Structure 1
Amino acid sequence: MKILMATHYFASHQGGIEIVAGRLFDNFAAMGQQVSWMASNTHSLPEVAGSQRVVELAASNLIEDKAGVPFPIPTFAALGNISREVRNADIVFIHDCLYLTNITAFICARYFRKPIVVVQHTGLIGYSNPLLRVVARFASTIITRAMLERADQVVFISQTSRKYFDGLDYKRAPEIIFNGIDAQTFRPRHSTESKAALRSKLGLPVDLPVVLFVGRFVENKGLPVLKEMVQRSPAWIWVFAGRGPLDPAKWAAANVRVFSNLQGLGLAELYRAADVFVLPSKAEGFPLVIQEAIASGLPVVCGTETATADQELSSFVHGVSPHPTDLISCATAFLEVINSRIASIPTPQRESEQRHRFAVSRYSWIGAAERYLKIASELCGLHCANSDHSRTQQLSMPPSHFPEVP
């Protein structure tokens, strides 16, 4: 089966959607599929092996560079590349709708009658800028909902994003497939592993509470709220892992540490060195970093929308209802919950192990990839059956129904 995956960026952009796509890219190939990953060439390309292919699309990243909104603009040449790749694929996976590369892939797949699976990660992004809010809501209503209703299969990565799109007339009942977790990499500290040693290695204070954020430094991840919290809690060390236009390194705060290039084992050590994980994001589906934090044994403080992304999460995360416009009220609410978790430091090892066991039992990349491939196999089978039926009908038409040949 020749699978084509379409995203706006590759994983090196370090956004959740593209990191998830990268995991599926590797797992599909490991399961014997021919898989091509198509995205903008604004960041470095992933390494490939075996049956994997990367299709880089020439694009401008001006909008993100100037406004902080991740929205690459493909060139006309890139649109031609998208058409060729879709035509040669057996099935097309599209990760989120509101990106020009993905919209083009969707239109081409409809034109070439290729089965389409839309993996919808988010609902409506809650920008504070009124103009951006209006544009996002309009695009969601006109574009996203139309694409979801016309896709052969829609998959949501959380119950939150599924609920946001209730009431649509889907071709097939939507499915929820949670993202997986690398449980060997993201784990609690071993009994012989010292938090102090980890902090020393990372250049963090040994004797102060450490609050961790991992994600893109953008507005909808809650960076303005985090800045307010940093200013109001100088006795805590706030650690930020990620990159983006709202860089905490520019806040000139003595209690801030920024790590811009940590991944894999290095990022896992940062989780194990922290005391609490916080994510005051808005209008997200189910950020992968929540699962990584739980698997690492950390207490998690996040918005109520994120806390309800999986109904089984309630025992392992602390949801806060953020005020939609008042940064001070929002920061106060989060700080109260974080303070209660810091007051219970050190976290008992049994609680950390319990969180890890939950993550391992609930979130699996192999399990997720198997479910996606089952959907793909069914859709490709139906597509072939329908094509054969159409050809049979044409061949069985009486001669009078055939066009005359001059």
Structure 2
Amino acid sequence: MRILTVSHFYEAHGGGIERVAGHLCRQFRYLGVQAAWAASDADPPPVADVEPLPLACINPTERVMGLPMPLPGARAIRALAREVRRSDAVVVHDALYVTSILAVLMAKAYRKRVVLIQHIADIPFSSRMLRSLMALANIVVTRPMLQAADALVFISDTVRHELVGTPARIPHQLLFNGIDSAIFHPAGGMSSVPEALAGIAIPPDFRRVLFVGRYVEKKGLAVLRALAASRRDIVFLLVGSGPIHPRKWGLGNVYDLGAQSPQALAELYRGADLLLLPSVGEGFPLVIQEAMACGLPVVCGEPSNRADPGATEWLCGIAIDLTDPEGSARRCSDAIDSLAFTSAERAAMARYALAQYEWGKIARGVLTLARGGADQL
């Protein structure tokens, strides 16, 4: 069997959706399936395990608005059509991207089965115009795409509720993203200073708050900036990249660590006091699951704390309003001060994450759907 995965970027771009796509492609290969992966050529494709199909695209909106939307050219569209035709099924990550729409239309034309994995729903941007455009796009594009797919997967129960209601109006499966338990797990012995922090002098009585994600508006960078300016007693460690540049904030308690390898990221999870992700419009960010597996408490934007009903007791959800970063920062500050996990609670959270989130489980579920298996729980 040959599976074509379609996402907006390759995982080198640093976003959660493309990281999930990469993990699943490698799992498909491990399970004996030919795996091809089509995405924008803005970033290097994977060098092993997967057959890449880099698509020549322009991406004018991400740098200006923080909204990624790769637009393929005519040659890329023809290449995508050829790959859809030679594949047995197409796995599409998120409905709103132009490459996703094209892949579904082509799969329908060539009578190939489509599995749509939906990661997000609405994004409450600070701009009224962007909020309106997002709401319109979900009505005009996302919901018809959900209906067009032969099988539908949600990685978050809150996204499922927002897009198809409760009870769900269409068949679906809820399959949580996995984690690499060989990398993301609690510390096995005495903790050490993460290599990424070498040379950074952090006062021993200062808490270390970790952020991991793209440096874009929806991730709450304005909230982080307001919080860091008001809480000089906290060190903020930021991992990621994007059009927003935290180093230009002029805040001495903010450290931009850039992109990090999974191994270095796991060390940071184990060396921090909590993960803060003041984002909006999320499903169930992979970094939350990785932090949980390392035993790191999490403060996140609502409704990500309810994405997995079984994990809500360990996730502190905060109402984030991008139009009011100062107010959102105050709520985050209060949550940070009130968060007090015992070592037993951290251990229980890690055990849950390591048992619940497994890449093989979601990959097997997606392959079952791609082969025409049951499409509803």
TM-score range normalised by the length of the shorter chain: over 0.9
Look at both structures and tell me which one has the larger radius of gyration over its CA atoms: 1
2:138 corresponds, among 137, 140, 148, to: 140
Does residue 358 of the first structure (1) align with residue 352 of the second (2)? yes
**Are the equivalent residues in 2 in contact too, given 1:149–1:171 (CA < 8 A)?**
no
Structure 2 residue runs of 5 or longer lacking an equivalent are: none
- State how far apart, in whole Å, the 2-side matches of 1:273 and 1:247 are: 24
Matching residue's letter, 1:19: R
Residue 361 of structure 1, CA deviation:
1.1
Residue 223 of structure 1, CA deviation:
0.8
**Are the equivalent residues in 2 in contact too, given 1:60–1:74 (CA < 8 A)?**
yes
- State how far apart, in whole Å, the 2-side matches of 1:189 and 1:42 are: 36
- Pair 97,206 (structure 1): closer, same or farther in 2 beyond 3 Å: same
Equivalent residue, structure 2, for 1:104: 102
More displaced 10-residue stretch of structure 1: 179-188 or 350-359? 350-359
- State how far apart, in whole Å, the 2-side matches of 1:311 and 1:118 are: 22
For residues 96-124 of structure 1, the C-alpha deviation after alignment (integer angstroms, 9 at most, x for no partner) is 01111111111111111111111000001
- State how far apart, in whole Å, the 1-side matches of 2:216 and 2:169 are: 34
**Are the equivalent residues in 1 in contact too, given 2:164–2:170 (CA < 8 A)?**
no
Residue 136 of structure 1, CA deviation:
1.2
User: Please, what TM-score do these two structures have when normalized by structure 1?
Assistant: 0.88
User: Please, what TM-score do these two structures have when normalized by structure 2?
Assistant: 0.94
Does residue 227 of the first structure (1) align with residue 244 of the second (2)? no
- State how far apart, in whole Å, the 2-side matches of 1:46 and 1:373 are: 21
Equivalent residue, structure 1, for 2:21: 21
Equivalent residue, structure 2, for 1:322: 320
Matching residue's letter, 1:74: P
**Are the equivalent residues in 2 in contact too, given 1:95–1:119 (CA < 8 A)?**
yes
- State how far apart, in whole Å, the 1-side matches of 2:322 and 2:191 are: 41
- State how far apart, in whole Å, the 2-side matches of 1:217 and 1:329 are: 20
Does residue 63 of the first structure (1) align with residue 57 of the second (2)? no
Structure 1 residue runs of 5 or longer lacking an equivalent are: 381-406
Residue 324 of structure 1, CA deviation:
5.6
- State how far apart, in whole Å, the 2-side matches of 1:175 and 1:310 are: 13
- Pair 277,215 (structure 1): closer, same or farther in 2 beyond 3 Å: same
Residue 190 of structure 1, CA deviation:
2.4
Residue 206 of structure 1, CA deviation:
5.0
Matches within 5 A, 1:109-124: 109-124=107-122
- State how far apart, in whole Å, the 2-side matches of 1:15 and 1:56 are: 17
Does residue 213 of the first structure (1) align with residue 211 of the second (2)? yes
- State how far apart, in whole Å, the 1-side matches of 2:39 and 2:308 are: 29
**Are the equivalent residues in 2 in contact too, given 1:90–1:114 (CA < 8 A)?**
yes
Matching residue's letter, 1:28: F
Matching residue's letter, 2:127: N
Aligned residues: 373
| RMSD between superposed Cα atoms in Å | 2.0
Matches within 5 A, 1:202-351: 203-205=200-202, 207=204, 208-323=206-321, 325-341=323-339, 344=340, 348-351=342-345
Residue 321 of structure 1, CA deviation:
2.1
Matches within 5 A, 1:25-36: 25-36=25-36
Equivalent residue, structure 2, for 1:375: 369
Residue 131 of structure 1, CA deviation:
1.5
Which structure 1 residue ranges, 4+ long, deviate > 6 Å from structure 2? 168-171
- State how far apart, in whole Å, the 2-side matches of 1:145 and 1:197 are: 44
Q: Secondary structure at the match of 1:216?
A: coil
Does residue 179 of the first structure (1) align with residue 177 of the second (2)? yes
**Are the equivalent residues in 1 in contact too, given 2:183–2:262 (CA < 8 A)?**
yes
For residues 257-310 of structure 1, the C-alpha deviation after alignment (integer angstroms, 9 at most, x for no partner) is 111120211111111111011111111100000001111111101122000101
Residue 328 of structure 1, CA deviation:
1.8
Residue 14 of structure 1, CA deviation:
0.6
